[in-house]
Structure 1
Amino acid sequence: MLLYTENHNQSISGGRSFAEILYGQTLEQSPVMNDLLLRGCSLHKMIRLITYSISGRAYLNFMGNEFGHPKVISYLRGPFLFIFNFHPTNSYERYSVGVEEAGEYQVILNSDEKKYSGQGSIGQDQYFRKTISRRVDGMRNCIEVPLPSRSAQVYKLTRILRV
C-alpha cells in the first residue's frame, strides 16, 4: 500500500510543507504557540490515521483543504469503527454513530489519550459501548460515544448480540 500525506501547494509549487502549516514556523515558547503545537500534533495524528485506514489501493490523490473543514467522519472497516472529530473546539458527550451489528464495542485506539500527547478527556470507564436499537446514518443500530475535539477513536466489535 502506498500512502502519502502532504499538501498540494508544497508538492506542486514548493510552498510551505505540511508540517510547517500544522506546527508553525517559529519555536517561540508562549501559551499561544503551545496551543498551536498541540493543535498541529492532534491533526497530524488524525490525518495519518485516516490516510492509513481509509486507503486500500496505491494512488496519489491531491486534496484541497478537506482536513480544514470541521466535520465528523466515521466509517466501518470489518469489525472496526473509525470516528474522527476534526472540529477545532466542539466536543460531544454523546455523539450517535450508526452501526449495523448489534453488540458491544470497545475503544482500541484513542488519539486523545495522554500517552499519545492528547488531553485525556475520555476515561477508561467510557471505553465500552453497547448498541442502542435506533436507526442512525442508515444503519439499524447506533452507539453513543464521547467525542473530544481534534480526536480520533477506533472501536472494535467485541461481542455480537443476537436479538
Structure 2
Amino acid sequence: MSRLFTHAFAGQGFLNFIGNEFGHPDWVELPSPSNNDNYQFARRQFHLADNQQMRYKYLNRFDRAINKTEERFGWLKSNQAVVTRTHKGDKVMVFERAGLVFVFNFHPTKSYSDYKIPVRQCGSYKIMLDTDDNCFGGHSRNQANV
C-alpha cells in the first residue's frame, strides 16, 4: 500500500531501487575490506519473485499492476492530488487524482464496510486496483463496483 500511495500521491515521477518491486529480503553489499571482501550479499535474488512457493510474487505482481494502471490513467502526468478525507482514528486517507479516487485504509486490524467516501463528482465507481485482491495475496473481500 505504501508503494501505491507514494506512486499516486507523489509529484511527477517515482523512483524504485532495483529489487524493491518484489520486496528483496537482503541488502546489497559489495565486497570491501570492511566485510573481508565477501561476495555473499553482492547480488540480487531475482529468482525469489518467480518462486510460486514464496510470497514475493504477490508484491511483484502488485508493482506491475501499479505501473500498468498508471500507464492507463496517467496520474503522474496529471495535476497534484486533492485530499478529500483524512481520518486519524480510522487511519483512512482518500484523495483524487487523474479522475481516480484513491482510498487507503492503513489501520492494522480494522476493515471497514459501508465506509462513506467523499468524492467531488457523484456517480458510480469501479475498483481498478485492490490490495486485497487474491492475485496480490489478499482475501478478495471487496466488491468490484461501488
- TM-score, length of structure 2 as denominator length: 0.45
Query: Max radius of gyration: which structure?
Result: 2
Larger RCO of the pair (alpha carbons < 8 Å, separation 6+)? 1
- TM-score, length of structure 1 as denominator length: 0.41
